[in-house]
Amino acid sequence: MTDNINSPSINYQALAEKIKSWGQELGFEQVGICDVDLSSHEPALVQWLENNYHGNMDYMAKHGLMRARPAELEPGTIRVISVRMNYLPTDAKFAKTLKNKNHAYVSRYALGRDYHKMMRKKLQQLGFKIREHCADLNFRPFVDSAPVLERPLAEKAGLGWVGKHSLLINKKGGSWFFLGELFVDIPLPCDEKPSNECGACVACIKICPTNAIVEPYVVDARRCISYLTIELKEAIPLEFRPLMGNRIYGCDDCQLICPWNKYAKLSVEDDFQARQNLDNASLLELFAWQEQEFLNKTEGSPIRRIGYQSWQRNISVALGNADYDEQVIEVLTTQLETATPMVAEHINWALGQQILKKEKTKETIIVNQRLTARLIRSVEKGLPRDA
């Protein structure tokens, strides 16, 4: 990027206001602007990496402090335009799905089309629109596509505050939204960082099934169900399997319990509505997909990137956590004949869980039943629209 800081003919205050208007026309719920100084976040990032809280996400350690230095990632950058876009689908069925242990729970951000390309395209359009008014502008859009500390940037740009679960919370819009950034080399006026409104609340820390939020604002990814079902490519540690319940792709518990999500807005994007009945599918229905069917039905979905083996692994664990059912045992046994060694190990675990339940008749052995029941009650009471 070139340095645009000496362009006195441009009214950057007026341009910033136009950028926010254009962003909303493109479908972004909110647009904010900040400088690139994230030095205050560097010690925490270093400590997080040293604690190995990134697990096997090697790219986190590989890029190191570049994540906190936008101007190193894209030389010449002096401002970041941060945007957020709502993704909460109509009729989210949170409590309904979590309550039915024989149905699959997919994190609500992944029910529809993959957001990365769509948001990046819109950010690209925003960049070209700005360039019409600032000819020598250089810009680069990011949506989870490079080492960027997107939440601290969004916080600094006024889009919300980073909550104790490490996600961004907006006072008027909850946390069900995606983030994206446009790095630019023009001296736009910056927005103000909002105050943190979490207060003494620790609901997200207490509700986490695997105790992944090891202290306020710090998540050990190795314990997080989203990491275990999406990022982890090997076997899921035994200690976490009973705690995963019917969650086969991601986990929303810490957001569901957050009191600020009573203000969450539904998405206006058709792309984020549920596809392939993923908000109402039984575990057995999804487990029956052959690999080509999985690839076909997840085309354009963020789910596709985990691959068929992880998909089968995750559902195997959920079937182990499901209520005792002879059909489940039959299906697991049949699938075992052609399963890869990794998937077979999880199927055998699931069969063991089902047999235990059979021996205990109607007595359930769900380790996390109390927390899940509390979460369901909270969602039904606090988020009746989306329950």
Task: List the catalytic residues.
Answer: 144
Distance CA 220, CA 217 (A): 10
The alpha carbon of 71 is separated from its chain's Cα centroid by a whole number of angstroms, namely: 26
HSE-CB of 100 using CA atoms within 13 angstroms = 16
CA dihedral 179, 180, 183, 187 (to 10 degrees): -50
HSE-CB of 324 using CA atoms within 13 angstroms = 14
Distance CA 125, CA 117 (A): 12
The CA-CA-CA angle for residues 181, 213, 267, to 5°, reads 40
Rounded to a whole number of angstroms, the CA Rg of the chain reads: 22
The DSSP bridge pattern shows strands 79-86 and 161-162 to be unpaired
Distance CA 88, CA 178 (A): 10
Q: Which of 122, 134, 118, 115 is nearest to 184 (CA)?
A: 134
The CA-CA-CA angle for residues 187, 189, 190, to 5°, reads 110
Written as six digits, the tokens of 313 are 């692994």
Distance CA 31, CA 24 (A): 7
In sequence order, which residues have a C-beta less than 8 Å from that of residue 240 and are 6 or more positions away? 210, 223, 225, 228
Distance CA 297, CA 234 (A): 24
Residue 195 near residue 161 (C-beta atoms within 8 A): yes
